[in-house]
A = this chain, B = another copy of it.
Amino acid sequence: MIVEIVNTGSELMLGRVLNTHQQWLCRRLADLGHVVSRQVAVADTGGDIQTAVREALGRADLVITTGGLGPTSDDITRELIAALLGKKLVENKDVLAHIEGYFARRNRTRPAGTSVETFVPEGALVFINQFGTAPGLAMEVNAECGVRSAELGEQATFNAQHSKPNIQGGGKTISKKWLIMLPGPPRELRPMFDNSIVPLLKKEFADETFVCRTLRSVGVGESRVQEAIEDSLKPLVPRGLEVGYCARPWSVDVRLTAAGPGAAQIVGEGEAIVQRLLGAHIFGYDDDEIENVIVRLLTERKQTLALAESCTGGNIAHRLTNVPGASAVLLGGVVSYANSAKEKLIGVRAKTLEQYGAVSEEVAREMTLGAREKFGADFAIAVTGIAGPGGGTAEKPVGTVYIALASVAGVEVKKMLNPWDRATFKEVTATQALEGLRGLVKAAGGG
């Protein structure tokens, strides 16, 4: 089964918006056993959208489009695809009632522009939008597939007979394909996919066995990770194991995938090998972020955490509080940007600040001790450093950071150099601090 995604939106092509749909949909579809083979993004213009959808239908069994279903003048995907497939747009009473209700519940009159959202291609399945107004749409389309090959030298062609459904051409194969159109806003698209599209796919397409396991490591470079494991994994490759690597700042993902009946067994064997060779560096699996692992570990052990952040500016707190249930373990934190805040809120001594400077091992030590005590937590993290772009000196260049961890056993401080842009600096420093804490919590045991 071949799956393609077409994202529409001029804001994508102008680089004004990040396309989060691609990752989200690819992930969901892979989990259902359908790995997306191609994703295309085009602007909100007639020719581009129709060409992309036509080409995708020429290759794929399932095409999912995103965007262009809303009420504004640049939302033209519905009209263009209806025209491409030779379908009339007809008013749908359920959609109209839903949109009327949507605005009535908010005590607002329905904007006239939303009328276009009530017109859907004739014969389409309609999915009411629980978190917005524009419905999702699904259509089964009939296609004569002359050639469906990604091999070199061949052109994929798509001779649609959309306006004359169920035609049996002279000896040609007629195959059924699905075209699904989803609204652009993520908080509308995601629940619609989970609640309406997944059941449709399960009904229309056989599940395929596909196993993907990602092992997430920190603190080792991509080449070293491969050197450590590739020879040992090689015997599994002829049996169908695929190995992938993804380098991120301060972290490398190892991805093991296989398809077919023996997939779980093969991936399981691969995972055991990676675990044995890289175990100390692996902090989690699949969707795990270090912050999720920390919250899980501390929850299991009924232990608590406090933070004192200077240069990460709340990023550690933000990442931890993204995890549902974080309130059970994170008592709180202080973002102590100003020296006065370091003194007043977490008790760093003025003398220490004066003698060593705000970015120093000594201040990091007092910050973490202060945070642990003020909040009454089992563990504390403190970071102080120079995020840049300004503020560096010859002795302490931009990227210098001290990471301090406190527990009942005392304090340890590490100096790191993370000479990257401000956003990467904050992200990497937070990752290093959380990874340090993970080691400390595991070593401390308990729970």
Rounded to whole Å, the gap between the CB of A320 and the closest CB of chain B is 7
CA distance A155 to B11 in the complex (A): 26
Of the candidates B13, B52, B184, B335, the one whose C-beta lies within 8 Å of that of A335 is B335
Q: Which B residues are in CB contact (< 8 Å) with A15?
A: 22-30, 36
Does A172 sit within 8 A of B, measured CB to CB? no
A73 touches B243 (CB 8 A): yes
B72 touches A245 (CB 8 A): yes
Residue of B with least CB distance to A5: B41
Rounded to whole Å, the gap between the CB of A252 and the closest CB of chain B is 9
CA distance A307 to B318 in the complex (A): 14
B16 touches A12 (CB 8 A): no
Q: Which B residues are in CB contact (< 8 Å) with A23?
A: 12, 15-19
Does A173 sit within 8 A of B, measured CB to CB? no
Does A374 sit within 8 A of B, measured CB to CB? yes
Does A389 sit within 8 A of B, measured CB to CB? yes
A322 touches B73 (CB 8 A): no
Rounded to whole Å, the gap between the CB of A316 and the closest CB of chain B is 7
Does A42 sit within 8 A of B, measured CB to CB? yes
Stretch at the interface among A120-128, A223-231, A261-269, A403-411: A223-231
A47 touches B111 (CB 8 A): no
* Contact mask for chain A residues 174-218; partner B; CB cutoff 8 A; 1 contact, 0 none: 000000000011010000000000000000000000001010000
Of the candidates B16, B334, B345, the one whose C-beta lies within 8 Å of that of A214 is B16
Does A152 sit within 8 A of B, measured CB to CB? yes
Does A327 sit within 8 A of B, measured CB to CB? yes
Rounded to whole Å, the gap between the CB of A413 and the closest CB of chain B is 21
B340 touches A336 (CB 8 A): no
B320 touches A331 (CB 8 A): no
Does A341 sit within 8 A of B, measured CB to CB? yes
CA distance A40 to B4 in the complex (A): 11
CA distance A253 to B9 in the complex (A): 13
Rounded to whole Å, the gap between the CB of A374 and the closest CB of chain B is 6
Q: Which B residues are in CB contact (< 8 Å) with A327?
A: 337-338
CA distance A242 to B13 in the complex (A): 14
Q: Which B residues are in CB contact (< 8 Å) with A25?
A: 15
B332 touches A337 (CB 8 A): yes
CA distance A48 to B4 in the complex (A): 12
Of the candidates B13, B332, B336, the one whose C-beta lies within 8 Å of that of A36 is B13
Q: Which B residues are in CB contact (< 8 Å) with A52?
A: 38
Does A151 sit within 8 A of B, measured CB to CB? yes
Does A97 sit within 8 A of B, measured CB to CB? no
Q: Which B residues are in CB contact (< 8 Å) with A72?
A: 222-223, 226, 245
B332 touches A345 (CB 8 A): yes
Does A144 sit within 8 A of B, measured CB to CB? no
Known contacts A42-B38, A74-B245, A321 near B337 by CB under 8 Å = yes
Rounded to whole Å, the gap between the CB of A91 and the closest CB of chain B is 18
CA distance A27 to B12 in the complex (A): 9
Given contacts A13-B39, A15-B30, 13 further A-B contacts (CB under 8 A): A15-B36, A18-B18, A18-B22, A47-B151, A71-B222, A72-B223, A317-B317, A321-B387, A322-B423, A324-B389, A325-B390, A326-B337, A333-B334
For the complex of A and B, list the 7 residue pairs with the smallest distance between their C-beta atoms, beginning with the closest. A313-B321, A15-B27, A314-B317, A15-B26, A111-B223, A332-B341, A314-B314
